[in-house]
A and B are shown apart, each in its own frame.
Chain A
Amino acid sequence: MTTRLSEVESQTRELTLCLVGMPNSGKTTLMNAITGGNFRTANYPGVTVSLLRGKSKAEFGPALSIVDLPGVHSPVAPSPEEELACRVIEGNHARVRPDAFVLVADATQLERHLKFAGFVAKQGKPLVVALTMIDILRRMDQSVDVEKLAAALGVPVVPVDPRSGEGVAELVKTVHKFASAPPVGSALARIPDEPVSAFKVIRDLLQGSHAVRRVSRLSGLTDSHTTRIDRIVLHRYWGFPVFFLVLVSLFAAIFWAAQPFVDAIDAGFSLAGDLVVRVFPESIIARFIGEGVIGGVGAVAVFFPQIMILFFLMTLLEDSGYLARGATLVDRPLSYLGLHGRSFVPMLSGFACAIPAVLAARAIPARRERILTIWIIPLMSCSARLPVYALLLAALLPGAAWSAGLSLAGIYVGSLLIASLTAGLASRLVFSYRKPSLLAMELPVYRTPRWKPILRMTWARGSSYLRRAGVPIMTVSACLWLLSNFGYVPKAFVAPAKMEGSFAAQLGQKMEPMLRPMGVDWRVGVGLISAFAAREVFVSSMAIVFHVDADNDQTAQAGLLQQMRTATFPGTSQMIFTPSSIFGLIVFFFFSLQCFSTVAVVRKETNSWRLAGTQLAFYTGLGYVLAVASVQALRALGVA
């Protein structure tokens, strides 16, 4: 593969074209349009920042290798994203060597968007300016004369609408033309890096060129469409109801709309697993493939609908311009907790599943706030805890459906409160040495969403999740399967039919001294260990260790409850599942990070084993300590 690639490269070396510009300039949409959605995120060692890399569509002539660099405000680089972009532009990156640049500039904000052009023009490589948002400019009663602008800047200027694809072919053609004959000494190269004089130079350039025409000084300062919508969306009284409506729809979509797909995928994979096991009933390898591997793939795949729906809605919110408004509304309370206005999406997603939530935290531009958001996500009561709470609450409050429902609601609200408290404390105690970053968030103009780019973007983000998180999640679930199905019996390694002899059971028995203070025995410990594959596994493995034989789900749950009501510590008549021990288990599930998949994703997203490991140890430790404390406190108070 490598040799073939380098061969191709040496024969017809593809030109590398880098898309550069400010955030919100429409770079990524342009990337989509040039490559036809054929790009992937590329990670390079050492940095957590990823680049988008792709190839230009065949219809645009000889293939170009296209790289979408992170948006940059200034070459005086503070954020890791900007640092990476500047390193590539200066030609100091080992793997990405640009041959030409396309500076993507918002035509409605030329001054701001051209400021960075000075830095790019100074590299002496061919540079083409792609002018976006011309449609918005028209909406603002303004017009831009592209030829005059090109003459003034000294570089080719091509108007493009990346959303419709208009002008993209022309842009690529221009790049091909100028890449071979680099223009020299553009006016842009005279723009200094220092902002105050840079803005002055650009304003003089633009005014001297007479390229941008305004009908009057006041008309065309604002986009009336955006002003009208903002009057409601940012309204003192209407702002929050609108935001609440958006939240509810988002929540409903990731929670309920995904459910049929989740169920279908779940059923499909268990069917496939069952088939393999049934065809080769005696073979342990078939069982491993059927239960461990296919089950593991299934464990990854069940997250997929939720992740796709979440990414779709996020892209939609971002693309329409609402995301930044929502973030503005809630920035006050969230920044008080040390979070960012944009943290609301990951926090909300955390109620469905921590994995897409951690991925959604990418939308937070500041590292400190992003890490803190990721840190509290596992506390949000995810949907995998739901079956566990359902079982435990049914055992704790038999026959009172309303009180179980009320308790469940309490758990959800409680998880939000505890997460807020944790963020507030951590931002003051742990992260206090790092000052909060500037909000300075741009509110883009509202635009009617275009489905094709949104779907492409959703697919690119979603499939990148499958690649990033898929392998670790599958590995972990296969390992847990091995642990719960193999055991060491004095004579040899065996695959016992019952769980008692497995490594997981032995581990559970070793942990017995730790489990006793929680008021439970090793069998519950096995359930807790297996829940690290996914929390809901707790229910099914409890059914196995407590020998519930059932034909269907209904009786499995009922049978397990029956068993739990009569279960005693081995050799005694002391009950295991008393109100205090069940409450302790709920507390444990509330806090503990029992999800290796989350750990794997956090590690991938933060590029830090230390952070992921600390998070795992902290929450699981906290869950244990608080569970023991509450069990002992309840018992001291006379609750059984």
Chain B
Amino acid sequence: MTETLPAKRLSEVSLNEWCRIDRLEGPREDCERLLDLGFTPGEEIIVTHAAPLGDPLVIRVRGALLALRKREAAWILVE
């Protein structure tokens, strides 16, 4: 357990701020899906938009733009 930057949930990260995925924490099946989509630990991602109602979030990952619900984004812990 290294005490570097504390991990934050992706749902709490502000817009247009690069962050690195630390780990995924959520229902196993959904996390596997997120991994498949490219959200793997160590990867750098950025939240580019939030829908007018604040949810879903639009995230750039590995060259793609993906819309994730806040609930789902909360499973992604970033630093």
User: Which residues on A are within 8 Å of B, measured CB to CB?
Assistant: 73-74, 76, 78, 108-112, 115, 195-196, 199, 221-222, 226-227, 230, 234-237, 239-240, 324, 327-329, 331-333, 335, 341, 435, 438-444
Contacts and interface: CB of A to CB of B under 8 A. Distances in A.
Contacts of A111: 38, 62-63
A237 B52 contact: yes
Contact of A109 (B27, B29, B41, B63): B63
Contact of B69 (A221, A439, A444): A439
B32 interface: yes
A62 B64 CA distance: 37
B4 to A, nearest CB: 20
Contacts of B34: 438, 440
Contact of B36 (A73, A240, A327): A73
Given A110-B63, A328-B51, A443-B66, 18 more contacts: A73-B33, A109-B63, A111-B63, A199-B40, A226-B65, A234-B49, A234-B51, A328-B56, A328-B58, A329-B51, A329-B53, A331-B67, A332-B55, A332-B56, A439-B68, A440-B34, A442-B66, A442-B67
A195 B52 contact: no
Contacts of B67: 324, 327-328, 331, 341, 439-443
A548 B37 CA distance: 64
B52 A331 contact: no
Interface residues of B, number: 32
A198 to B, nearest CB: 9
Contacts of B72: 438-440
Nearest to B63: A109
Given A112-B62, A442-B65, A442-B66, A331 B56 contact: yes
Q: 9 shortest A-B CB distances, which residue pairs?
A: A74-B36, A443-B65, A195-B35, A109-B63, A332-B53, A234-B49, A328-B67, A441-B67, A239-B52
A329 B40 contact: no
A438 B30 contact: yes
Nearest to A222: B60
Interface of B: 27, 29-30, 32-38, 40-41, 43, 48-49, 51-56, 58, 60, 62-69, 72
A227 B65 CA distance: 10
A110 B64 CA distance: 10
B28 to A, nearest CB: 11
B74 to A, nearest CB: 13
Nearest to A197: B40
Nearest to B53: A332
B53 A234 contact: no
Contacts of A442: 64-67
B60 to A, nearest CB: 7
Contacts of A237: 52
B44 to A, nearest CB: 10
A196 B62 CA distance: 13
A346 B58 CA distance: 23
Contacts of A110: 63
A333 B53 contact: yes
B17 to A, nearest CB: 14
Nearest to B43: A199
B69 to A, nearest CB: 5
B15 to A, nearest CB: 11
Contacts of B62: 109, 111-112, 199
Nearest to A195: B35
Contact of A76 (B30, B32, B56, B60): B32
11 contacts: A112-B63, A195-B32, A195-B40, A234-B51, A327-B67, A329-B51, A435-B27, A438-B34, A438-B68, A440-B72, A441-B56
A240 B53 CA distance: 10
Contacts of A439: 56, 67-69, 72
A221 B60 contact: yes
Contact of A108 (B43, B51, B63): B63
Contact of A230 (B49, B56, B68): B49
A331 B63 CA distance: 23
Contacts of A112: 37-38, 62-64
A451 B64 CA distance: 25
A335 B67 CA distance: 13
Contacts of B38: 111-112, 199
A240 B33 contact: no
A440 B51 contact: no
B52 A329 contact: yes
The interface centre, meaning the residue of B29, B43, B60, B64 with most chain A CB atoms within 10 A of its CB, is B64
B68 to A, nearest CB: 6
A331 B35 contact: no
B49 A438 contact: no
Contacts of A74: 32-33, 36
The interface centre, meaning the residue of A227, A237, A332 with most chain B CB atoms within 10 A of its CB, is A332
A78 B30 CA distance: 10
A566 to B, nearest CB: 54
B51 to A, nearest CB: 5
Given A78-B29, A112-B63, A196 B49 contact: no
The interface centre, meaning the residue of A329, A333, A439 with most chain B CB atoms within 10 A of its CB, is A439
B50 to A, nearest CB: 8
Contact of A440 (B33, B49, B52, B60): B33
